[in-house]
Amino acid sequence: MRRLVAYAGASRQIVYARALDGSYPAKEFFDGLPQKIKNRFGVSFKKLGDTGTLHNKEQFKVVEGSKFFEFKCHRYRMICRFINGGLILLLTGCEKKKNKLDPEVIKRAERVYEEDTIASETDGSHNE
């Protein structure tokens, strides 16, 4: 499946997941953000894409109890998952309202991941 690329670095590519309806939930979220926040996420995408790692837990960390990670910028989050071929799949985004990430956001990320996996298998590429 041809991927919609958010950032192509020397070490990793950060790409948007496609839902079964053809939408890109993480891209739609990203496109609706203020420019200042987009720029901050862009810096994190660049660091992770170019070096393969991002150690600053204020910018990037595992979502507790899951296989997902979150890019963080103030109250905004973009949920992602590492997949084959050095790809990082951006799944969805949210504005965090409480101290803990809303479980619905994780469920949405799981659904988009599963839908993207189905689309990938249909196109002949596999995620893991």
Where do the domains of the chain lie, and which CATH numbers do they carry?
4-123 (3.30.2310.20)
- pLDDT for the residue 128: 47
For the chain, how are helix, strand and coil distributed in percent, rounded to 5?
40, 25, 35
The per-residue pLDDT string of the chain (128 residues; one tens digit each, 9 = 90 and over) reads 679 999 999 999 999 999 999 999 999 999 999 999 999 999 999 999 999 999 999 999 999 989 999 999 999 999 999 998 889 999 999 999 888 889 999 999 999 999 999 887 766 554 54
pLDDT of residue 2: 79
Tell me which DSSP letter residue 63 carries.
P
Residue 6 has a pLDDT of 97
Residue type, 21: D
